[in-house]
Amino acid sequence: MGDGTVWTLAIAALTGGTAVLASWVTSRGSTRAATIQAEIAARSSRAERLRESRRTAYLDLIEQTHRMGELYWEISAALRLSGSDSRTDSLRVLHDREVAEYARIRRCARVVELEGPPGAAAAALSLQKATGPFYEALKAELSGAPDAHSGFDAAYSPFWKALENFVDAARDAHQTD
């Protein structure tokens, strides 16, 4: 073999090696880019699922709060009736419904606590606690306490204010997600 052939083979080998190395580097870069893209897509998907989960929890609590409000209006109407056995029986039935509805609002508030963030969770807990004065007033009325219905009526304003505070906290949390 002549000197020209050796040089041609050396250049061919060097060119081939460079091509293999360039292919390997490109392949590694493409693999890394695909991995990064997959991680970003997974994070985005998780964030969207969390956002939807929170939104559902917030809406469930708001809906349950309105159900409680409707029940409280029924109780208020019954409290305005003159004292009788029928009124007392009616109030006992409404009290049982109140306990059942409270269990639902408590569950909804716990879901919001779980889903977060802390501001919405604290507002949900305050909303849940705003049902307490209604319960205590109705219990007092059923125990024969005088003028217990005025305590029931006084509980409306803090209850609806707690709902407003929750809606504001949920909106803020939803907008920052």
pLDDT score recorded for residue 143: 93
The pLDDT mean for the chain works out to 88
Domain ranges of the chain: 48-176
Query: Which is higher by pLDDT, 112 or 29?
Result: 112
Side-chain half-sphere of 162: how many Cα atoms within 13 Å? 23
- Percent of the chain exceeding pLDDT 70 equals 89
By CB neighbour count within 10 A (0-12 exposed, 13-18 middle, 19+ buried), where does 160 fall? middle
Query: Which is higher by pLDDT, 156 or 23?
Result: 156
pLDDT score recorded for residue 3: 63
8 A C-beta contact, residue 61 and residue 124: yes
pLDDT score recorded for residue 87: 92
- The tens digit of pLDDT for each residue in 130-149 reads 999 999 999 999 998 888 88
For residue 114, what is the enclosing H or E element? helix 85-115
Q: Is the pLDDT of residue 125 over 80?
A: yes
Q: Which fold has domain 48-176?
A: Four Helix Bundle (Hemerythrin (Met), subunit A) (1.20.120)
pLDDT score recorded for residue 149: 83
- Percent of the chain exceeding pLDDT 90 equals 60
pLDDT (average), residues 121-138 = 97
pLDDT score recorded for residue 31: 73
| Residue 117 φ/ψ, nearest 5 degrees | -70, 180
Which span out of 46-60, 74-88, 122-136, 144-158 was modeled with the highest average pLDDT?
A: 122-136
Taking alpha carbons only, the member of 20, 104, 107 closest to residue 67 is 104
Q: Is the pLDDT of residue 19 over 90?
A: no
pLDDT (average), residues 93-122 = 96
